[in-house]
Structure 1
Amino acid sequence: MTRLRQRPLLKFLADPFGTSARTMELDGNYIRLTRRRRVESLSLQSLARAPAVTRGMLGTTLTVFTDKMDEVALKGASHQDARDFSQRIKEAWTRFNLAALEKEAAHLNSILAEVKSLVAPSRYPAAYQIAPLLEKARALDASLLSKLNAEAVGPEIVAHIAPVRNFADEPRTLRANGIAAFVAAELDRWKDFFDTIESKPLTPEQRLSIVVDEDATLVLAGAGSGKTSVITAKAAYLVKAGIRSPEEILLLAFAKNAAEEMSERVEARSGVPLVARTFHAIAYDIIGIVEGSKPALADHATNDMAFTNLIKQILKDLVLRRSDVSEAIIRWFAHFLVEPKTEWDFQTKHDFYSHMEAQDLRTLQGEKVKSYEELQIANWLYENGVEYEYEPVYEHKIPETGRRDYLPDFRLTESGIYIEHFGVRRQKKADGSEQLVTAPFIDRHEYLAGMEWKRQVHAEHETTLIETYSYERQEGRLLTGLAEKLAPHVTLKPRPADKIYDRIVELKQVDDFSKLLGTFLRKFKSGSHSLQDCETKSNQLKLGKRARAFLDVFAAVFEEYQKRLEGRIDFEDMILRAAGYTETGRYVSPFRHILIDEFQDISQSRARLLKALKAQHPDVRVFAVGDDWQSIFRFAGSDIHLMRHFGREFGGSFDGEAGVHRTVDLGRTFRSVDQIAFAARTFVLRNPAQIEKQIVPAGFATEPAIRVVTVSKGEDEAKLSQVLAARSAAVAPEAKPATVLLLGRYRFVEPNMQDLRQRFPRLKISFNTIHASKGLEADHVILLNADSGRTGFPSEIVDDPLLSLVSPEEEAFQNAEERRVMYVAMTRARHTLTILASNARPSSFVTELKKDPAYGIAAQPGAELEEHDCGECGGRLLGVTGKDGRVWYRCEHVQHCGNLLPVCQSCGTALPRFTDGTADVRCQCGATYPTCPECEDGWLVERSGSYGKFLGCVRYPNCVGKAKLSSDDGSALKKPRPGNRPR
């Protein structure tokens, strides 16, 4: 035993409060400390570094440092004694650590060997594989290696343990270096395989995707980039490299034919017998293994039409059998079939009109109305058996006022009563009084004047006018108030629910609603949602009464649907039941590598099954191939967010980082020429949420590759024939026929294919919807009916906001999925893409493509009519050719705005427009016209009236602006009203 004491004469001076140790004794592997009132022990293992000896005026201090950052000092010792004691502690400490190192030698050498193997690994150093090594290295470093005194143990030992310490300190760098070394060596080792596995050598990007083998690997495979080749080669590589046996590989596809094609291709190319399966097939197998037999599949599971028809039948039966549900169903169709938005929900006329046009505001009686509140009134009248006319011509002739014929909103045919619905709300003024106000984009004074004029007309002609107001709906009493106002004049005769439902069926409104219910039901089941979940989310998203009305119907439909399964299962049950068996371990998976094709189409339920399979063993790898740019099956349950957050959903963990995964961008396309490939990329990336990918085109176009051809009403067939004739003429007589793919957003746009094939034998012509064209390609693609409207493109009836109740996230970008549908259409083409679009109602996509030079769209031969902003509502003024051959510019919002302008009288082609800084309207040909004092878009031209010639607005009778003729030169004498020009 060795001891160090405070010197008696110095201890009171050096340590007057007795805080330092009075004695230190070295006892084996411990240092015993004696203080004034207690004795402590320090293990040599706890020392952070060698003791320090400091000489002072009041003796020498010896300080011991522990790994907990504590310092223990003995003050007032003899200097020589302190130095001797310090040396003995250092020697004991070194002996102790060397002994500990010797004790851990085998463990250290094992870790060291694994760390050194990272320099040139024989297998891809995936996160799951290296994470346990990192854990062992850090534990050893913390308990031993970090405590070894470099001076004491010597440089050889320091150098020996350095790789482990470096790895513990910078694991990500060493793993990244190991990955780089492995990939380089593996690419070289398997070069011949990559050169010959397909008919053409694989690209560098394809080769990289095959040798990369992270916990989760996402291969971004753009259109025509050879994703099937990648999956084929990956499966063959895993087997041939001895990484996996065929039984350990699960090859998944979404469609049965795709799975069959993949199986055949893998075996044909590599000789490896691998059976690809669909998600439903593997799920069904899992159920069979666990339960001993497979439950019967519902008849409608494989037939979407049968599924929709079942929903329709359930709706009909509920109307007939359950009065409470029938009321909810009728209430839905009468008042909530469309989004209950009014002009008060919009800041501009253009936004309001665009929304209204996207809605099918068709009443139960069958006519289209102009606002949601009018729809409510009309349907209430119909439900209660009150016969009416919508917007009839007023029964009395109104004297010439410059206005159009007066068309009241409703006329009740039996009583002759008129109903006018006024879009006004009540607003309190500062003095406490109330005033009527209009929507933000409506001229309040003009609107109130119009209300007063209508009241005067009815008063003068002694016709009964019932008034309703927007503020009544805002206060929740629009329809109850209407009932009270009509009570003295009308006897209500409510129609039976089944009769109303028959009318709804006649209007074909049940079809779309059944599809919505079906989509909602599948998402509801696959996401394991509850009605309470949906109600909670509805409140969060502020979907209001419409969501409540929908859920009232859905709850009953879902309950009845589940009853009608009668022990059978649908595809949602199949996936979820298999996932449950896998999660609980009742099914034990043999799979260690899971390869998934078309990953962008994955749904929440499929993802759950995939995660369950991955979680069963630590070494399971997920290899997903897909293209988020081609995610177009949201209606079928696919959830693009699973791909966008791939690492978070399926990745591993390493060094405190979750979601570890690898992404490989194939980049290269073997299909489209540069103009098409780059334009499609630019188009889809307008949505910043899409994953950015680089594109290497298949070749370079020698002529304009994308053209937009505008089509007048009734010219569809003629224009298509012109395009096909041009393509046919370009095919050399001795060449094989060129392939032409006609694409439509909907099936109903398909032309007479038999006739076209007979007329153009040099062309191999086919038609498909864009959704069904995935995987197809052709020399030339012609996109039909790229028009605006409900069944246009982008479709305005695809995503009902209610689906957000059973979707994890709603895409914020407008027309996000429709934009991807357009990308799919564009990238079916090898050499040319021709888009046929209405000149009166072109698609917003077409307008974007034409206006932005980044797309490089070729102009249509001949003079093309320009687009202008509509000064009345902010929409587009589109050039149209009338039956008489004259050109007019009409607002795109024909039903609502009605702005119609003639072309310049001087040149007969262009549209005169306002010029900043002048009081005139000027045409590009140089002609000028006086501005209209009443409206934003019109100008004055000479007209004749009962009092002679005058200047009148070209928009008459929509605008009655006028001015006197100058006696000398015929110019307008009246100046335009200030502040009336567009800003």
Structure 2
Amino acid sequence: MPRFTIEPDKLSYQTGRWARLFASNNDYHSFSVEDGKIEFFGANHIHHIEILSIAGGVIVESGWFWDQLSITLEDAQSFHFGGVRKTVSKQLQTRLNTQIRDTIQRFYQQFEPAIKQAAQEANLLFFGNRYIRRATAHQWLTAHQWLTVGLKRKDSYRHLTSESLPNYHLILPLLERGHSQIDYLNQTFVNQQVGEWKSFFDKVETNPLTDNQRRACVIDEQHNLVLAGAGTGKTSTMIGRAGYLINAGLAQPNQILMLAYARKAAEEMDERIKEKLGIDNLTVKTFHSLGKHIITQVEGIVPSIDKMAEDPELRTRFVDEQIQRLLQDERYKSRLVTYFLRFSYPYKSQYDFKSLGEYNAYILENDIRTLQGELVKSYEECEIANFLYRQGIAYQYEANYQVNTSGPDYKVYQPDFYLPEYGIYIEHFAVNEQNQTPPFIEQQRYLEGMAWKRSLHEKYKTPLIETYSYLKHQGRLTDVLSEKLLAADVKFNPIPANELLTNLKGLGRVSEFAKLMADVLSLFKSAHMGIKNMVELAKVHEDHERMLAAAYLFEPIYEAYQLHLRDEASIDFEDMIGRAIEYVESGRYRSTYRYLLVDEFQDISASRARLLKALMAQNRETSLFCVGDDWQSIYRFSGSDVSLTKEFSNHFGATAMSILDKTFRFNNKIGEVASRFVSQNPSQLKKNINSHRQVEHNAISLIKTNQEILGIHAALTNISAKLTEPASVLLLARFHFKRPQMAALKRQYPQLKIEFLSVHASKGKEADYVVVFGLEKGKHGFPSEKATHPLLEMLLPKNEPYEHAEERRLFYVALTRARHHVYLITNGNNPSPFVRELIDKRYPILLDEFKGEGFQDHVANIPCPKCKTGYMIPRDSRHGSFFGCNQYPLCTHTQHACQWCGGGLQNKGQFRVCENHRCDYVEPICPECGGTLSLRKGPYGEFWGCSNYRKGAEFSCSHKEKFIDLQAAKRKGSQ
């Protein structure tokens, strides 16, 4: 018999025996309802249905003998329970639906107080006349996210009371869509505010603000980053932001702090605030003056700024004086002499380089010179030269051998070292213990050269001492050399340390070291670390011996400097920031500012960023508004860290980013080149800068000459010819020492307002025309290939992996100073890699505008096949014209000119092809020795033989080939 049981909180039913046997959908024979779920029991299994998952209740489906109960779930699946006696099916349906309704209502009744609370908070936070900050939204969403368990269920609103329904409809979109709904509300608010304050934004500056500027002013996230491209009106945006905050009632003037980097920039900002907004109690400071203000507030007295803080030369002089004082101490003197002898330059094994060009770059970047001032070809040669010098052994570097060896097989022999008092030669061979050469040296040829040199000395009975690279790796180079010199009866007469230091002073090496220590002092203090920290970092550095040597020499200099500051009761600029950070983080200084506006944020350093974070931490309502451009971050050498801009949200938190993409300075043709160039670095933030000035013709000209002053005059003459009214011209160079004679130029071009600046100093400037010169490859080229001492690197922000990343941004800055036209002056025989890139990647620039006497008709574009990084350029000798590598003397590769037109020959596969497209000269390359294969006649017919074949000579190449398809080579060369 079926059983039907009803209790206050429990309902159950069990089918009869015949229904279990013959009814349809009879997998389950009973069910019970309790604890918010229905459990169905079968012979071997149980099925659960949560009452909250039921949609639409229970319905009865009639059959011939029994009825069945059908339940539809929220996921649209159905469940059927058969074998229900017809006399009780309707009663069961009623009881089940009542229990389902009561369960659901009880479930939602528990939400109603929370829904009401959430709605009240949402009304205050999200539906007032304000921008919703992400932190505020996140806090609300986190607190009320649990409500989605019920409120996201289908038709949940039907189970709420009429009082709760408005609250439900208010919060449901927020809970369902989260931050995307917040973004929608914010967008609506920003649109409304831009419209409401249209008149203000139209008039706050001389020209109406752009739409993007207005939106940047209105958006009020806790952390705001405005990426302002060159000439897009960042200062106007700063002023608009301050004015909006005050006029909209979001802040009082004394609650706003505007920060600039330079004193002049802060003064100009303050003047514009007073002029445009009519406000005189808004604080505008530099970071240093802010630090000074904080220190004054805490200590009760205005700190005295040390004279050295504002005079880098005075600080360098102080460091130099301390070095002279410390040299009275024998231990310090010994350490300094050891540093000059062993650690003046970073040691890298030649075996670490893949190409001769990479190795030459290492030599040139570090300007590896001996204690006598000679530029040598390896660190190991420098160590040998310095050892000889230190021991008082006179030597000559790469002097011609006493016998003239020049001929078709070898050039003039120049042994590495010659000791004239003893007639002894020293050769240092770049081989390891297995007689293997570095990867970039042609091993077989090098070993043959070694054998030739040995045989030459044997032939002419000239004493030869040999050393090898592997001795340096073993740490025995000078020990073995010393043994061999003593065995050859060479007298050692060590130069006293005082005399050595006197000579080093004469070469300027001590003053260079003082400059290095002064730079280290500044960065060390900016890093706010102790000597112990520096030593620990030095110990784990790859060049730890050199780093530790420099750190130990720096320590007493730093201590003397700090003692000076204490004795004078003064501070420096680094103390202004460091002590201010300490006072803010400890709570001794309490900030009253609610809005921090930072100009030129791309120049931010870690210490300044830390100060900003400390100020914000004191009040979670404080908002940070930063305007900058990662494309113009060019001050890493002084501690600026571009990653603080590029990875802003990682450092500061949830960020609203705005982009000012309309420039009112340079035209579209300058912008096209500049933007494309700087964007080659994929880590730069993507921006599409649109120019207000639109022109049809290319606006960047390349002037090719090895006479810079000729190029400058050509540019100024070209500019003058275009003028109908006076114009301004900026002459820019990578280094300030390249400044030309400005007085003469100004007299010769009176209609031009000419100013010279280094590119760094030109940041923030603009002119009608810009002339950039010094665009050459090298240590003082552009990009600069000058190496940074690793002790400085250790204290600087992490270097970027992309080659010349900051120098590329510096070039972008140079290009974007001009309104109308840019002139780039390069030496075609030693072009800047940047010029090379502009040409090779076909940037839209004018290449052949300047021709005639003094101008070059080409830019070196034939890669040197030997060093891989240099370019072959035309040269002349008494034997005629030829092409040589522009990295000479470090790379001595030469090759003959085209036999037909005199042009350069470029290696393309197994052929040399003339670079002159109007000439189709091609010559085959000997695969054995790199010589030229020429068509010759022999007793058995024509064949191709090597030009380096010398019958009976010590070096000869006898390679031959029967057939070479020159026509195929010509077709390939023309592609």
Bin for the TM-score computed over the shorter chain: 0.7 to 0.9
- Which stretch of structure 1 is more off in the superposition, 756-765 or 141-150? 141-150
- Partner residue of 2:571? 569
Paired with 1:729 and 1:955, the residues of 2 have a C-alpha distance of 59
- Partner residue of 2:77? none
Pair 1:960–1:872, CA change in 2 (3 A): farther
Identify the match of residue 759 of structure 1 among 748, 752, 757: 748
Pair 1:530–1:352, CA change in 2 (3 A): same
Identify the match of residue 904 of structure 2 among 911, 920, 930: 911
Paired with 1:858 and 1:21, the residues of 2 have a C-alpha distance of 92
Q: How does 1:276-295 map to 2 (within 5 A)?
A: 276-295=284-303
CA shift for structure 1 position 916? 6.2
Q: What is the one-letter code of the residue matched to 2:665?
A: R
Partner deviation per Cα, 1:261-303 (whole Å, 9 max, x = no partner): 1011011011122231011111111112122224332321122
CA shift for structure 1 position 543? 3.9
- Partner residue of 1:301? 309
Partner deviation per Cα, 1:360-419 (whole Å, 9 max, x = no partner): 111111111111110111112222322221112223455867422221111224333221
Q: How does 1:753-902 map to 2 (within 5 A)?
A: 753-797=742-786, 799-862=788-851, 864-865=857-858, 867-880=861-874, 888-901=882-895
- Partner residue of 1:68? none
Pair 1:169–1:521, CA change in 2 (3 A): farther
- Partner residue of 1:742? 731
Q: Check conservation: 1:667, 1:693, Cα contact below 8 A.
A: yes
- Partner residue of 1:72? none
Q: Check conservation: 1:708, 1:837, Cα contact below 8 A.
A: yes
Q: What is the one-letter code of the residue matched to 1:621?
A: S
Paired with 1:217 and 1:92, the residues of 2 have a C-alpha distance of 50
Q: What is the one-letter code of the residue matched to 1:671?
A: R
Q: What is the one-letter code of the residue matched to 2:525?
A: K
Pair 1:718–1:857, CA change in 2 (3 A): closer
Pair 1:278–1:556, CA change in 2 (3 A): same
Q: How does 1:486-565 map to 2 (within 5 A)?
A: 486-488=485-487, 489-530=489-530, 542-565=542-565
Pair 1:240–1:376, CA change in 2 (3 A): same
CA shift for structure 1 position 521? 3.4
- Partner residue of 1:270? 277
- Partner residue of 1:606? 608
Paired with 1:954 and 1:781, the residues of 2 have a C-alpha distance of 51
Identify the match of residue 590 of structure 1 among 589, 592, 612: 592
Identify the match of residue 690 of structure 2 among 689, 696, 699: 696
Paired with 2:443 and 2:729, the residues of 1 have a C-alpha distance of 55
Pair 1:425–1:776, CA change in 2 (3 A): same
CA shift for structure 1 position 259? 0.5
Paired with 2:954 and 2:255, the residues of 1 have a C-alpha distance of 80
- Partner residue of 1:17? none
Paired with 1:409 and 1:613, the residues of 2 have a C-alpha distance of 62
- Partner residue of 2:709? 717
Q: How does 1:164-183 map to 2 (within 5 A)?
A: 164-183=171-190
Q: How does 1:393-542 map to 2 (within 5 A)?
A: 393-398=400-405, 402-426=409-433, 435-488=434-487, 489-530=489-530, 542=542
RMSD: 4.5
- Which stretch of structure 1 is more off in the superposition, 580-589 or 396-405? 396-405
Specify the SS of the correspondent of 1:447.
helix
- Partner residue of 1:372? 379
Q: What is the one-letter code of the residue matched to 2:120?
A: S
Q: What is the one-letter code of the residue matched to 1:528?
A: H
CA shift for structure 1 position 447? 1.3
CA shift for structure 1 position 915? 6.7
- Partner residue of 1:630? 632
- Partner residue of 1:216? 223
Q: What is the one-letter code of the residue matched to 1:394?
A: Y
Paired with 2:90 and 2:154, the residues of 1 have a C-alpha distance of 27
Paired with 1:817 and 1:922, the residues of 2 have a C-alpha distance of 33
- Partner residue of 1:729? 721
Paired with 1:80 and 1:843, the residues of 2 have a C-alpha distance of 93
CA shift for structure 1 position 6? 7.5
Q: Does 1:232 align with 2:239?
A: yes
Specify the SS of the correspondent of 1:853.
coil
Specify the SS of the correspondent of 2:305.
coil
Paired with 2:66 and 2:495, the residues of 1 have a C-alpha distance of 110
Partner deviation per Cα, 1:819-842 (whole Å, 9 max, x = no partner): 111111111111111111112211
Specify the SS of the correspondent of 1:797.
coil
- Partner residue of 2:120? 110
- Partner residue of 2:44? none
Specify the SS of the correspondent of 2:237.
helix
Pair 1:885–1:202, CA change in 2 (3 A): farther
Paired with 1:304 and 1:559, the residues of 2 have a C-alpha distance of 18
Pair 1:593–1:973, CA change in 2 (3 A): closer
Q: Check conservation: 1:411, 1:417, Cα contact below 8 A.
A: yes
Q: How does 1:15-34 map to 2 (within 5 A)?
A: none
- Partner residue of 1:354? 361
Paired with 1:638 and 1:472, the residues of 2 have a C-alpha distance of 42
Specify the SS of the correspondent of 1:741.
strand
Pair 1:241–1:482, CA change in 2 (3 A): same
Partner deviation per Cα, 1:603-631 (whole Å, 9 max, x = no partner): 00000000111111111111101111111
Paired with 1:409 and 1:25, the residues of 2 have a C-alpha distance of 99
CA shift for structure 1 position 669? 1.1
Long gaps (5+) in structure 2 = 1-6, 21-28, 40-49, 74-83, 937-944
CA shift for structure 1 position 878? 4.3
Q: How does 1:960-971 map to 2 (within 5 A)?
A: none
Paired with 1:571 and 1:527, the residues of 2 have a C-alpha distance of 12
Q: Check conservation: 2:137, 2:179, Cα contact below 8 A.
A: no
Specify the SS of the correspondent of 2:444.
helix
Partner deviation per Cα, 1:904-953 (whole Å, 9 max, x = no partner): 45434x234567677997975557576575864768799xxxxxxxx997
Specify the SS of the correspondent of 1:794.
coil
Q: Check conservation: 1:940, 1:954, Cα contact below 8 A.
A: no
Pair 1:569–1:146, CA change in 2 (3 A): farther
CA shift for structure 1 position 199? 1.0
CA shift for structure 1 position 527? 2.8
- Which stretch of structure 1 is more off in the superposition, 886-895 or 135-144? 135-144
Specify the SS of the correspondent of 1:442.
coil
Q: What is the one-letter code of the residue matched to 2:401?
A: Y
Q: Does 1:671 align with 2:659?
A: no
CA shift for structure 1 position 424? 0.2
CA shift for structure 1 position 344? 1.4
Q: Check conservation: 1:963, 1:973, Cα contact below 8 A.
A: no
Q: What is the one-letter code of the residue matched to 2:191?
A: A
- Partner residue of 1:947? none
Pair 1:887–1:974, CA change in 2 (3 A): same
CA shift for structure 1 position 496? 3.3
Pair 1:711–1:218, CA change in 2 (3 A): same
- Partner residue of 1:580? 582
Paired with 1:927 and 1:145, the residues of 2 have a C-alpha distance of 77
Identify the match of residue 8 of structure 2 among 2, 8, 25: 2
CA shift for structure 1 position 125? 1.4
Paired with 1:547 and 1:976, the residues of 2 have a C-alpha distance of 59
Provide TM-score, normalisation by structure 1.
0.83
- Which stretch of structure 1 is more off in the superposition, 98-107 or 547-556? 98-107
Paired with 1:454 and 1:250, the residues of 2 have a C-alpha distance of 73
Paired with 2:448 and 2:191, the residues of 1 have a C-alpha distance of 80
Specify the SS of the correspondent of 1:761.
coil
- Partner residue of 2:352? 345
